[in-house]
Amino acid sequence: MASIGVPELALIASLGFLLLLPLRLLLPWLRRSDDVDTNWPLLGMMPALVRNLHRIQDFCTEVLEMKGGNAWFTGFWFSNMEILCTVDPANVHHIMSSNFSNFPKGPDFKKIFDIFGDGIFNSDSDSWRSQRKMAQGFIAHGNTEFQSFLVKTSRAKIEKGLVPVLEHVLKQGTVVDFQDLFQRFTFDSTWTLVTGYDPGCLSSEFPQVRFSKAMDEAGEGLFYRHFIPETFLKLQRWLGVGVEKRMLKARETLDYEVNEYLSRKREEFRSRINSNEERPGGTDLLTSYMKQNMGSESEERFLRDTVVNLLIAGRDTTSSALTWFFWLITRNPKVENKIRDELKQAGERWKSLEMEDLNKLVYLHASLCEAMRLYPPVPFQHKTPVEPTVLPSGHRVVPKVKIIFFLYAMGRMKSIWGDDCLEFKPERWISESNRIKHVPSYKFPAFNVGPRSCLGKEVAFIQMKAVAATIIHNYQVEVVDEEHSGVPRVSIILYMKHGLKVRVSRRSSS
C-alpha cells in the first residue's frame, strides 16, 4: 500500500514488537490476576482484553455490572483508542433516537464495515434516507406483491428443504448441526427473496457454501477491527497477513458470487421487459430495485452493495436467533411444552403459513423475544459523535471517542430486567390480556433503535415462527454435545463457536 513507506513500516514493526513482547511476558501473571480494570502503562487495558478475548461477551457484562452500566476502555498509548462501553438504556435512547443527527455512521464506521460498500448499513444523510424509503416501500406490510412472495418462498423452503433434510437425518440416525442447518435455510430463503433464485444449499448433501463461509470470515474480521489499532490494521494490509488478509479474501468471494447472480438477473430482467412478462406469485427485491434504477450510472455498484447488505441482514441474524432459541428450548422443557400446547390449540391453521395465523402464536413469539434478549444476534453496536455532547449518564463524549453499547450485556442487567434477568422466562413478554407487551427498543434493541430500526423485523418473525413451529410440533430435539454448545463465537454476529449438534426424533402425536 502506497500510504505506508519503508521507514514508517520499520517504526510500526519496532513499536509493535516492543509493546507485544512485555505483554507476552506479562500474560502468565495476568491470568492469575482478578483485576479486570487495570490500566497498564503503555498497554492500557489491552492485557485484560487479550486475556478475556475468548469470552469477550461475558467479560464485558461482568465489567459493566461492576461499573454500574458504564465503563471506559483505553488501548495502547499511541493508538488514540478511547472507548466508552455502556448498557444504560437512557444513553442508547439519546444516541439512537433523541440525538440521532449527532451520531451518524460516519467515515470511521464505513472504514470498519467497508465490505458493505455504500449500502444502507453504511450510508448517512440523503443517501440513507433515499435507500430506507425505497426498501420500506418494497418490504412494507402493504406491499402485497412482496408479502405474497415472502409467504410462498418461506412455505416452499420449509416443505421442500427443511423437512426433507430433517427426515433424512432422522432416518439415518445421524447428528445434525442446527446452526449450519438454520444458516442454510436463511441463506436460501434470503437469497430467493432478494434475487428470485434459490441456491439450494439446504439439502441432505449439505453442499459447501462459499458465500456463507466468506460471511463468517468477514464477521470475525469486523469484530477485531473494533479493537485492533488502525496502525496495526494498516500493517496487516501492507503485509497481506492476519485479519486483513482474511477480510480481503472474503470481500473477493462475496463480490464474485453476487456479480454472478447480478449478471444472470440482468439478462432475465431485460428479457422480461422486452416480452412484457411478469413474474407470477410476487416479485423479488432485486427486480423491484432494478425497476427503480434502470439507466443509473452507478446501478451496478448500488445493486452489489444492496444485495450484500440484505443478504447479511437476512441470513445471519435470523439463523443466529433460531440457533440460540432451540438451545434454550432444549434446556427449558416447560417452555417447549407450553409452545406445543399453543400449537395444538391453534389446530392445523398454523401450518398454512399465513401471517395472520402465525401472529396468533403469542407464547412462541414471546419465547423468541426472550431468546434474543439473552442472545441478541448482533451483540454490540458502536457510534461516534460529530459534536461533543454529554450523555444522560453524565459522561462527556467527543468526536474521538467511540461509544459501544453491548446488547448481550443489556439482557443480563438486573437494573434493566430485574433479579430474574438470567432466567429464560417468556412470560415477561406477555400481558394479562395475552398480548405481547410493548418493550421500548432502547431497552430491547435486538432490532435496532429509532430511525434506523430494522425494516425486516416482520419478515424475521414470520420465518422464525414458521421454522420453530414446524420443528417443535413434529420433532424432539436433543443436544448431543452439551459441553461445547452454548459458547459464543468471537464475531459481530452471535453464533455458537462449536455449532449446535443435535439428534432429532419423531414426536408422538399425543
Strands 475-479 and 402-406 turn out to be unpaired
Q: Which residues pair with 488 in a beta bridge?
A: 496
Integer Cα distance of 349 and 360 in angstroms = 10
C-alpha cell at 300: 451496478
- Exposed/middle/buried for residue 272 (C-beta within 10 Å: 0-12, 13-18, 19+): middle
Integer Cα distance of 212 and 219 in angstroms = 10
Q: Which residues pair with 72 in a beta bridge?
A: 84
Q: At what angle do helices 457-474 and 178-195 cross, to 10 degrees?
A: 140
C-alpha cell at 254: 462475496
Where in 62-201 does DSSP place strands (E)? 70-74, 82-86, 176-177
Q: What is the DSSP letter of 448?
A: -
Q: Is 421 annotated as a binding residue?
A: no
Handedness of CA 93, 97, 100, 104 (dihedral sign): positive
HSE of 321, CA atoms in CB hemisphere, 13 A: 30
Where in 169-290 does DSSP place strands (E)? 176-177
Q: CA 212 from chain center: how many Å?
A: 13
Pick from 337, 339, 334, 283: which is nearest to 465 by CA?
339
C-alpha cell at 79: 493508538
Pick from 123, 136, 148, 12: which is nearest to 76 by CA?
12
Binding site as annotated, residues: 454
Binding site as annotated, residues for heme: 454
